[in-house]
Structure 1
Amino acid sequence: MGCTNCSSSNGLPKGCKNNGSCGVGGCGKMPVFDWLSNMQLPSDTHSTSYVEVRFKNGRKEFFHNKNRLSLHIGEAVVVETRPGFDVGIVSLHGELVRFQMRKRSIEPSEESIYSILRVANQHDLDMWHEQRERENQLMMETRSIARRLNLEMKVSDVEIQADGSKGIFFYTAEDRVDFRVLIKEMAAAFKLRVEMRQIGLRQEAARLGGIGSCGRELCCSTWLTDFRSVSTAAARYQQLSLNPQKLAGQCGKLKCCLNYELDSYIEEVKKFPDTNKKLKTKSGEAYFQKMDIFRGLIWYTIGKDSPVWYSLNYKDAAYIQAINEEGQQPDDLEQFAVKLENTETTSAYSNVVGQDDLSRFDKASSGNSRKKRNNNPRRTNKPASRGNRNPGKKN
């Protein structure tokens, strides 16, 4: 949700209207709208004391609000970690946290879930921003150390705790990497506890974010959490060109959006006849060329290399296959062909003053200039040099 949706007008909040605070925790990644915030709990039900806290690049964890602090979405809090403490942003609280924990198969227990210590003050925020400024420099130094050790890995992101005692280094690698020597050098150089966490290419794109070919922000960095496998069969069902440059996303894998409408395409393809079967007519056998699922059309040609294509309704093609099985053949496909209207429109634009002609930048050479150039006699006497313009005069 953008900030324009939550702007106020005449003192009244717009957008979610959640008492002036954003209902999805601001403009961070992977927001969740609290649709249970305005609902009252039954009298025999107690509100949960667990809170969802968001960290850098959409990483979220659950913490126990033991002290029953009055927290709001988008508020910075200091949370307990091992070791030290960290600063995060409250992204969700209330009964919806219980459903989120159940979705991620997290059992609420005192030992596995850390606590929220306090609301972050100015000193905590200053320490947090100071560590954030170090992250880019540490990432570049880690990459140089990995190259020096000839490790086939790519460090894509670094996250340092607010107290500076621990750093999480996210990396991608095709094979297993032995980074024991790397951790020793990093711990000695950075003076902190190092944790290496391997992520996939799609998780890397989700953390870093970006703009897709559709012009919108990446789905994996805004709302998509379930990374299902995508195969080239999804592109074939949707009659897409098998071009890797167009089908691949920023992660280098097939785009996740290929699965969004796949079920609808599969249901529509079931209505069409078998494209592997040839249509038998008295004028010859017809071969399948292509289909249009949206208009319900299918194209055939008499012979494989014929330039004449016949567009048939999928019901007519199924009818021809049915009578072929009974031993009957139509005369030709012309009687079943669907006449398509030409949707091309001719523009009434006319180039009046020649503004679209590239030759307007070229200066036309006139014949008079050539005559003047030819009439001028060539100079036979060279001018005297600067050092001796008057040879008869002695210094």
Structure 2
Amino acid sequence: MAGCNNCSTGNPATVGGCQNNGSCGTGDCNKMNSFDWLSHMGIPEVDKFDIIEVKFKGGRKDYFRNVDHLQLTTGDPVVVDVPNGHHIGYISLQGELVRLQMQKRKIKNDDNILKIYRLANQKDLEKWQEAKNREIPTLYRSKQIIEELGLEMKLSDIEYQADNSKATFYYSADDRVDFRELIKILASEFKIRVEMRQISLRQEAGRLGGIGVCGRELCCATWIHDFKSVTTSAARYQNLSLNPSKLSGQCGRLKCCLNYELDSYMAALKDIPSVDKPLQTEAGPAKLQKTDIFRKLMWFSYNDDNNWHSIDCERVKDILEMNEGGIMPFNLKQDKAFEGEVETGKSNKDLELLDKKFSQSKKKKKRKAKPKKTGVDSLSVQPELKPGPRQTTTDRTKNSGQKNRKGNRKSPRNQARNQGSPPQNTQDAVNKKEGGQKTSKKRNYNKKRGQNRPNNGNTNEI
């Protein structure tokens, strides 16, 4: 389904919700209407309020009298009387709620309220659409003229009247601007009556629209119509950092949402004592660092230390009374030394649990290094034999005898000899060879000598 006349998505079509040609149930593409909660309550028609709220471009609303008692429905386009012509708007509210809105905006019910002519027909809507198509080209050309004249003003929007005889130029400026020459040029070029209307930066943001830091559409572009002043004291009461980049909106002014919760903070601040100077204790002067308004907790630090101590507001009041009497407690939580710690009842247990959780660091188990894989099989490689202390022949025979008794195991030196490995020390090998030859010669000589010697008992040979 195509969009309505207020959008640029397509041609006007019959809307299924309110059965209105060229308007949706909200009456506009940006601003929301006031909800008529009295529409189904069956109020007698005799007492029905005859003034109707009509909505125009950019959320602008005005009130008109239904003199002819027309049967109107919310969202119907109507032709209304305006100074020097007529205009078309959409009905946004009717009935008893209009009386309340007029009282809220302090609008008097007198003869200054203009009347409604009739319901807009198709010819009126087509003529109004032709006038609206002139707004964008006129806006671009007007900005060029302003730059040529060197005027310090920002043109934000243009609204053409439905009879195509008048145009309202909305601009914003910091100082007063002399635009008399500008009006003459615009009137001669576009052949219309020109009205210059200065608006605030918040109203400009509401007309342009946008998305806020919260991710939603701007409040000034959806439902706020009456803008209230916002001061930095609203941020101070809520303990917000006075950072202009975070507190300011797209209009460059302080955000309107700073006033939303201000009443709740003001009510909660009544029970919190004001600390203008550090609290005097024997542990040192305690300076206020932070205040939790809704939990009624206050954090102090000794001598601008990084460690903060939290106490409740009742304890702060007690310390203030003691300081006024010239008495200093031992610390923030104890009046005297070696006294049991005072239970405040509202401690910062959640932060303490987090500190304990991250302070106990778990020791990671060291993993054993795995042996590096090589192409040679590790079982086939024999360990290298380190040279030990030099042993004599008697020591070697003793060691070999002990090993042979245990399990007839061979010494590492014999294993190396059997495997064909070279001896560990060449000098040991030479000494062993020479010693073996000498012992074999002595044995042969003793054998021969024993054969020639007569076995005559204990007689000695002469």
Post-superposition shift, 1:184?
0.7
Counterpart code for 1:67:
D
1:233 and 1:47 map into 2 onto residues whose CA distance is 45
Question: Is 1:116 aligned to 2:125, yes or no?
Answer: no
Does the Cα contact within 8 Å between 1:23 and 1:33 map onto a contact in 2? no
Post-superposition shift, 1:157?
0.7
Instruction: Give the aligned partner of residue 152 of structure 2.
Output: 152
Instruction: Give the aligned partner of residue 35 of structure 1.
Output: 37
Instruction: Give the aligned partner of residue 256 of structure 1.
Output: 256
2:189 counterpart SS class: helix
Post-superposition shift, 1:102?
3.0
Does the Cα contact within 8 Å between 1:76 and 1:89 map onto a contact in 2? yes
Instruction: Give the aligned partner of residue 57 of structure 2.
Output: 56
* Aligned pair partner of 1:340 in 327, 331, 349: 349
Instruction: Give the aligned partner of residue 69 of structure 2.
Output: 68
More strand by share: 1
Does the Cα contact within 8 Å between 2:59 and 2:225 map onto a contact in 1? no
2:60 and 2:190 map into 1 onto residues whose CA distance is 23
Question: Is 1:126 aligned to 2:126, yes or no?
Answer: yes
Q: Which moved more, 1:189-198 or 1:21-30?
A: 21-30
Taking only aligned residues, the RMSD between alpha carbons, in angstroms, comes to: 2.6
Instruction: Give the aligned partner of residue 323 of structure 1.
Output: 322
1:189 and 1:46 map into 2 onto residues whose CA distance is 50
Q: Which moved more, 1:251-260 or 1:273-282?
A: 273-282
2:196 and 2:28 map into 1 onto residues whose CA distance is 29
Counterpart code for 1:318:
K
Post-superposition shift, 1:287?
1.4
Post-superposition shift, 1:25?
4.2
More helix by share: 2
1:139 and 1:222 map into 2 onto residues whose CA distance is 23
2:107 counterpart SS class: coil
Instruction: Give the aligned partner of residue 205 of structure 2.
Output: 205
1:295 and 1:301 map into 2 onto residues whose CA distance is 19
1:81 and 1:263 map into 2 onto residues whose CA distance is 40
1:284 counterpart SS class: coil
2:271 counterpart SS class: coil
- Counterparts in 2 of 1:251 and 1:28: CA distance versus 1, 3 Å: closer
2:179 and 2:100 map into 1 onto residues whose CA distance is 38
Instruction: Give the aligned partner of residue 310 of structure 1.
Output: 309
1:106 and 1:142 map into 2 onto residues whose CA distance is 34
Counterpart code for 1:101:
M
Post-superposition shift, 1:138?
0.7
Post-superposition shift, 1:295?
2.5
- Counterparts in 2 of 1:309 and 1:59: CA distance versus 1, 3 Å: same
Counterpart code for 1:57:
G
2:211 and 2:166 map into 1 onto residues whose CA distance is 31
Q: Deviations over 1:252-309 (max 9, x none)?
A: 11111111211221222232222213222222221111112232221111113x2222
1:270 counterpart SS class: helix
Post-superposition shift, 1:28?
4.7
Q: How many pairs were matched up? A: 326
Instruction: Give the aligned partner of residue 279 of structure 1.
Output: 279
Post-superposition shift, 1:42?
5.5
1:129 counterpart SS class: helix
Contiguous gaps of at least 5 residues in structure 1: 1-14, 347-395
Question: Is 1:89 aligned to 2:90, yes or no?
Answer: yes
Contiguous gaps of at least 5 residues in structure 2: 1-16, 334-340, 359-462
Does the Cα contact within 8 Å between 2:51 and 2:63 map onto a contact in 1? yes
Does the Cα contact within 8 Å between 1:238 and 1:262 map onto a contact in 2? yes
Does the Cα contact within 8 Å between 1:153 and 1:171 map onto a contact in 2? yes
- Counterparts in 2 of 1:133 and 1:279: CA distance versus 1, 3 Å: same
Instruction: Give the aligned partner of residue 227 of structure 2.
Output: 227
Q: Deviations over 1:140-193 (max 9, x none)?
A: 111111111111111111000122100011111111111111011101111111
Instruction: Please report the TM-score for the alignment, with normalisation by the length of structure 2.
Output: 0.65
Structure 1 stretches of at least 4 aligned residues deviating more than 6 Å after TM superposition: none
- Counterparts in 2 of 1:151 and 1:301: CA distance versus 1, 3 Å: same
Percent of paired sites with the same residue: 52
